[in-house]
Structure formats: structure tokens, C-alpha cells
Chain A
Amino acid sequence: MKTIILRTASTYLLPVLLMFSIFILLRGHYSPGGGFVGGLIASIAFVLHSFARGLDNTKELLRMHPGFLMPIGLALAFMAGVTPVLFFDLPFMTGLWYPGHLPVLGSLGTALFFDLGVYLVVVGVTLTIIFTISESA
């Protein structure tokens, strides 16, 4: 798989795919998209990189074990759900929204942090599974 075309392309594809995944993550609240799909696209970016450059290079790029993203993502989603309970005495998972309008993001609320948590968990799970399989293969 280490052809020069793929290797060159992967250098450009990695940031493009990651940006695309973030775009999908952000548009997800009202339109198709969201944390799950975004996370899958982000992991595809890393998987493609590992095909072209080898697993070790991708691991070096990530700097940490992808499995570690799982608890971080879960914690983020959990915090997003639990914030209304702790600070506003509203039921679990009630959406809290910043009243103003932000550039690029649109409106900011706890739902975004929940989706971000999902995104991280999906990246963590997918990469852990794929890395483990390709290591043992």
C-alpha cells in the first residue's frame, strides 16, 4: 500500500478529512451529521494515514493511546448532561443555550459538548479496534 501517490495524498487528506469531520460535527444539531458520523470520518482520516505511512507513524502523530479518548469523551458528554442538574436544578440532559449568536458556531449549548463527547468516544473506540487488529495481523 505504500505507493508514492497514496503517501503524498495522505499528507493532504489528513487535515482535510479532519476539518470535514469537524464541519459534520458542527452542522449536526438540526441537519444530518453530528458527533457519531464526525467521529467516524475523523477515524477514517487516521486509518488512511496509517495505511499510507505505517501504524507507528500514525501512533507517533497521535501522541497518546486512542483508547484514552474514550474516558475523556464520556466525561465530556457526562458533564454536558449533568451541568443542568448541578447548577440550574433542571432535569438531566436539559439543553442549555448561550443566548447570543456566535460567528462560525452559530448558537452554543450543552448539546455541542455532548456531541463532542460522542465524537471523541467514536474516534477512540474505532482507532483502538483498528489498531489492535492491525497490530495482531
Chain B
Amino acid sequence: MTQQLVLYPLLLQMFLSILLMFCWRRISWQRVVSIVGSIINVGVSIWLFSYIWENGTQIVQAGNWKPPFGIIFVADTLSATLVLLTAISGLAVSSFSSASVVSARLKFGYFPIFHFLLLGLNGAFLTGDIFNLYVWFEIIIISSFVLITLGGEKAQLEGAVKYFTLNILASMIFLTAIAVLYGLTGSLNMADLAIKVAAIENRGLVEITAILFLVAFGIKAAVFPLYFWLPDSYHTPPSAVAAIFGGLLTKVGVYALIRVFTLIFVGDLFLLNVILILAVLTLFSGGLGALVQNNLRKVFSYLIICHIGYMIAGLGLFTEVAIAGTIFYLIHDIIVKTNLFMVSGLIFRMRGTNSIRNLGGLYADYPKLSLLIAIPLFSLVGIPPLSGFWPKISLIIAGFEAERWWVVGAIIFASLITLIIIAKVWAGVVWKEKIELPKRLNFRYFDKLKSVRKVQMIAPMIFLSLISLYIGFGAEHIQKVSSRIANELIDNQNYIDSVLGSEQNIGHEE
């Protein structure tokens, strides 16, 4: 029963999407199936996580083909954690979408595609084969293309074109990089690659391949020079879609970077310096970009870019403390960003606009909800003891230890900018005097929604806010998880051994 546990989240998501396709026209069924399925998925993911926590890394060989020839699925602590976070965000967004996405969109298969997206995410986190990773990336981007264009508004299509172009480009580069790597080593299994790449003498070629991977994943993660697609596209689809994109899609890129640069291309000083410089520039450009935006969702989009910088910086410092900081930040960021985009959707439902200049008076009208909104906002800044505070400490300590003062400076600067931006948002949206806006016709304001729908919108925010609070106040537990993950990533022998078993030495001595 537990032997196949690694695959259960995948199989469940696939089953859900097929089931949802059978209820194509019955939207009310789809809502129920999606929410109930997501709850079960959270249960399965918790099961997987606790099993991995107690028994260590688990693998499944799909089709019973032995590695390094078959495709294998590997669940180490990092993968299990990310699958759990995907399940949590998925549940929140599933509930939020059933209330906030209009039925014209639901009729064209919103829910099946949404679960295909989650399937792709789970697959990307669990696979141990680099070509299979590419396939999961394709599933992710194809599903996201549908989600981003569903509804077919002009602004949406414009955003989708930018999103499409750069993501396809990234996939091409990724595929090229895989081809080069395969040409060098003759293997696609990541654990096998780890051994074979280390043995290659022509380091220049290895570095170039690594740069190709860096560019491909960098585009997907929205790292410095190639992030323009993100703020131009994330504010166009419905906020439920933006929530899952903002929470998880860029993090897949970060995950892939972490995986590839801790397992396959390890400890090359030149590469680590490149990553650090990119991280610092990402921190600056994302922060400064967010400062000048007026649309709430564009502000959050630029903040995504800015905070990707923290994670990449931790990867670039490449010490155990730094990687632990990166992982902690990843955990915190997925929950908070998903929540923030849902908050922007809620505000849009309340006022009919997302322009900070025209918003205001939220505290006077909805005092309790304003307090709820405060939790993700201030968690993001990391006002102690909320969740964003702890990972930054790890990152700054790691920066001091490595004596990279400029990285420490950039991290502190980005935190300061985030604080300014969030203060601006809070003052502009919540505290400012209410500005009377003309009533929009054919627009269902929050007050006019049925109470079931209101609960479906608010409940996921409460759920994610509670998790954010737990990450902040129970930081000890999260720190324990991230330290263990960092330990596993730095000492990648554990991963290689669990995939290839003890026979690997025989094969390579010949």
C-alpha cells in the first residue's frame, strides 16, 4: 500500500481531472468534486509527508523499469514538502475559484484544467528524471495557457501572448540544455547525471550547459533580466488563476534551479557568483518595479519577482544555513503569495477596481476582513514574529558568514522596499478615506453574493492566514524541516544512493 505512496498525489489529481471532464456541463457538480477532491489531496499529501519524514527518501520506478533506464519518481523531504504546499494552495484556490470565477469561464472547463495544472506541479516536484521534468513543465505551461486565456478578454490575450512567448522560449532552451547534457553523459536520470557530470573533464562545456539550464529556469522563475512577462500577464486573468500562478508557477522554476544546482552542477564558484549577481539584481529590480505601480495585482506581481531574489540568493550562497533560509522562504512565500492574490480578488469584488488610487476606506466598511488582510500583508514584509522574518535571518547570517556584504545589503534593502510598498498599500487601500466610485453595471459586488459564496471566498483566506501564522509562531518546526531539507540537498549522496541503490559503484568503476 505505502510502496506506491509517492505517486498517489499524482494519480489523485489525474483521476480528479478526468472525473471533472465527465461532468463538463454540470458546474455545480464540478465545484463539489473539486473541493472534496482537494481536501482528500491534502490528506494524501500529509500522509506522504509524514511517511517521508519518518522513513526517508522513497522512490517509485514507473513501469517497473530499473533506474537509470526507466523514469523514476523520487520523494525526498523537499519534494514531499512542496507537494504538501501545492495541495494546501490547491485547496484554497479551488474553494476560492468556485465562488469568484464567473460561470462563463467555468463552463469551458476551468476546473479540469486547474487540476491538470496541479497534476503538472506535483509531477515536476516528484520526478527524478530530467526529461520527465521537461514533460511536466509542458503540462504546466499548456494548462496555464488555457487558464490565462479562458474568457478571452482583450487584456487577457495581450498578457497571454507575452506569457506564451517567453515560456515557450524557456522550454526550447530547457530542451536544448537537456539534449546537450544527454550528449555529454548519455543519461537523463538526475541521480545518474550527478555522478556522470562530476566525472566530465571538459568543465567549460559543463558550465555552458549549466548556464543554459540557468537561463531556462530563470525565465520560468522570473529572475532578473527575463522577468518582464510576469507583471505583464499576472494581472489579467481572474484572481483565482493569478493566485495559483503567483503562489506556485514561479516556484516550480525556483525548485528546478535548486534541484539542478544542488544535484547536477554542484559547487562551481563561477556559477554561484552568477546566481548571486542575478539574485541581487532581481531583488533591486523587483522592488523598484513594485514601488511605482498603482494596480494592486501589478504591485504583488513585482513583489513576486523581488522575493524570488531571496530564494536565488540563498542558492547562490550555497551553505547549509543559506539553503535552509531559501527553503523556509519558499514555504512561507507559496502560502503568502497565494493568499495575497486572493486578497486582491476579494478587494476587486468589494470595490470593482484594483487601482490603489481609487481604493480606500476598507477598514471603515469591513473592519474584520481588514484584519484578515493584514495577516498576509505583514507576513510578507516579515514583521517579527510573522512568517517572512525567520528565513531572512538565516539568509543574512549566511551572507555574513560568507562575507558577502553586498548580498546582505541587497537583502536588507529589499526588505525595506517591501515594507514601504506594503505600508503604501495598507494606507492606500485600507486606511485612506473611501472614494466614491461609479457603480459598475452587470458586476456582482461582494455584498450581493450569496452567503455560501462569501464563505467560499473568505474561508480559504482564513485557512492560509492561519497557516502563515503557524509558520511565523511555529517557526521552530518549519526551521527543523528546512534544515533537514538543506542537509539533504548539500549532501546529495543520500539522494543518489536512494535512487541508484548500492549497485551504482559497480557500474561506474567498469
Contact = CB atoms under 8 A, between A and B. Distances in A.
B200 to A, nearest CB: 31
Q: Which of B3, B62, B63 has the most CB of A within 10 A?
A: B63
Interface string A66-79: 01101100110010
A90 B15 CA distance: 18
B18 A75 contact: yes
Contacts of A15: none
A90 B21 contact: no
A70 B64 contact: no
Interface in B38-93: 60-64
Q: Which of A67, A71, A94 has the most CB of B within 10 A?
A: A71
Given A71-B21, A94-B63, A94-B64, A89 B4 contact: yes
B7 A85 contact: yes
B63 A93 contact: yes
A82 B11 contact: yes
A54 interface: no
Contacts of B21: 70-71, 74
B60 A91 contact: yes
A93 B11 contact: no
A90 B64 contact: yes
A92 B7 contact: yes
Contacts of A71: 18, 21-22, 24
Interface string B15-30: 1011001101000000
A13 B63 CA distance: 38
A94 B18 CA distance: 21
A89 B11 contact: no
Contacts of A70: 21
Contacts, number: 41
A94 B71 CA distance: 12
A93 B24 CA distance: 27
Contact of A92 (B4, B17, B18, B22): B4
A28 interface: no
Interface in A92-108: 92-95
Nearest to B17: A74
A78 B19 CA distance: 11
B168 interface: no
Contacts of B3: 89
A94 B14 CA distance: 17
Interface residues of B, number: 17
A130 B193 CA distance: 43
Interface residues of A, number: 16
B4 A85 contact: yes
Contacts of A90: 64
Contacts of A89: 1, 3-4
A94 B60 CA distance: 11
A75 B18 CA distance: 6
A71 B116 CA distance: 13
Contacts of A82: 11
A92 B15 contact: no
Given A71-B21, A71-B22, A85-B4, A92 B14 contact: no
Contacts of A95: 63
B113 to A, nearest CB: 12
B52 to A, nearest CB: 17
A93 B18 contact: no
A91 B18 contact: no
A95 B17 CA distance: 24
B152 to A, nearest CB: 13
Contacts of A67: 24
A81 B341 CA distance: 36
Q: Which of B1, B15, B18, B62 has the most CB of A within 10 A?
A: B18
Interface in B338-360: none
Contacts of B1: 89
Interface in A41-83: 67-68, 70-71, 74-75, 78, 82
A40 B210 CA distance: 39
B14 A78 contact: yes
Nearest to B72: A91
A131 to B, nearest CB: 16
A71 B7 CA distance: 21
A89 B5 CA distance: 11
A35 B21 CA distance: 21
B18 to A, nearest CB: 5
Interface in B383-413: none
5 contacts: A68-B24, A70-B21, A85-B11, A93-B62, A94-B64
The 6 A-B pairs of least Cβ separation, nearest first, read A71-B21, A94-B64, A93-B63, A74-B18, A91-B64, A71-B22
Interface of B: 1, 3-4, 7, 11, 14-15, 17-18, 21-22, 24, 60-64
Given A71-B22, A91-B60, 5 more contacts: A71-B21, A71-B24, A74-B17, A85-B7, A91-B4
